Structure 1
Amino acid sequence: MNGNHPEPVEDYTTANLILIFVNLMWIFAAVWSAWGLGPVLVLATVLNHLITRLDLHKRRKRPGLDGTGPI
């Protein structure tokens, strides 16, 4: 190993979050126009539940962040 460190890369988190938001909005608009507001609310609730489960799963995998022990 020659000790060369790679250059830091740009943080595209904000751009990715904006694109996710834009895509969710047009998908919700398409579902709303096709089937009404009910399925949009169900889809939003399911997505919220899945994101919450993913967060809990990630917290359980990291030590000290599950709420049962010291940080």
Structure 2
Amino acid sequence: MDEHHPKQVADYTIAALVLIFINLLWIFGVIWVQFGLAAVILTGWALNQGIHWLARFKASRAIQWPRESDA
């Protein structure tokens, strides 16, 4: 049987990270104008905690249930 390998696709990681950064800047700017600097700091802290929680959750899932490709 003839094997068809997919073509290599473009890596849009940098573009996605730049857009996330730009969106965070304007969202933090709106929060700052509406609620003040303390709200921006609190929002940043909450986002940081959420990212750390997701990372720990993903790591715990990888330890408990390894994928078949990892075995």
Count of residues in Structure 1 that have an aligned counterpart in Structure 2: 64
Distance 2:2 2:59 in 1: 37
Unaligned runs of 5+ in 2: 64-71
Aligned counterpart, 2:50: 50
SS at match of 1:62: helix
Unaligned runs of 5+ in 1: 64-71
Distance 2:51 2:3 in 1: 40
More helix by share: 2
Distance 2:40 2:2 in 1: 55
Identity %: 41
Distance 1:2 1:50 in 2: 46
Runs of 4+ in 1 over 2 A off after TM superposition: none
Distance 2:39 2:45 in 1: 10
**TM-score of the pair, normalised by structure 1:** 0.82
CA-atom RMSD, angstroms? 1.5
Shift of 1:2: 3.1
